[in-house]
Amino acid sequence: MITCTKIIEMTNNDVFKKLRVALKFRDDDIVSILALVDFKISKSELGAFFRKEEHPNYMECGDQVLRNFLNGLVIHLRGTKENPKEPGAVLLENTPKPKVQKEEDRSFKTKQLKNVDRNVTNVKYKNKKRD
């Protein structure tokens, strides 16, 4: 039996993109995480890492950028030795809270149902199939 496995090599850009999506980070979050390890980068430089390879402004993410991001991510999630954090609590801060419906939105359906004419009788169709 011959098995064919396809090996997909991931670039630093791919790893960076997947971490960004999985952790639900925005550019501001990534810039602040990189600032934790004294690595300064602008949003436009950061955006170049997340573009498609065919795009003219695409920039390859170097090992140094990814390494600094990962080191900053550790500090962001765990905190420092002097000020430790609970990683689960930090991740929960980034998750969007469910939106609470307003009373006006909930009552929209009831308002619409009040406007329905209940005196309409059921219509019998002539072309209805008979059993």
Computed over every residue of the chain, the mean pLDDT equals 83
- Give the pLDDT mean for 24-39: 93
Structural domain boundaries in the chain: 12-97
Which of 99-117 are b and which e, b meaning 16 or more Cβ less than 10 Å from the residue's Cβ? eeeeeeeeeeeeeeeeeee
Q: Which residue type occupies 40?
A: K
Is 60 exceeded by the pLDDT of residue 104? Answer: no
The residue with tokens 């359906």 is 109
The whole-angstrom separation of Cα 26 and Cα 55 is: 21
Instruction: Write down the pLDDT at residue 26.
Output: 92
Q: Comparing 73 with 86, which gets the higher pLDDT? A: 73
pTM above 0.85, yes or no: no
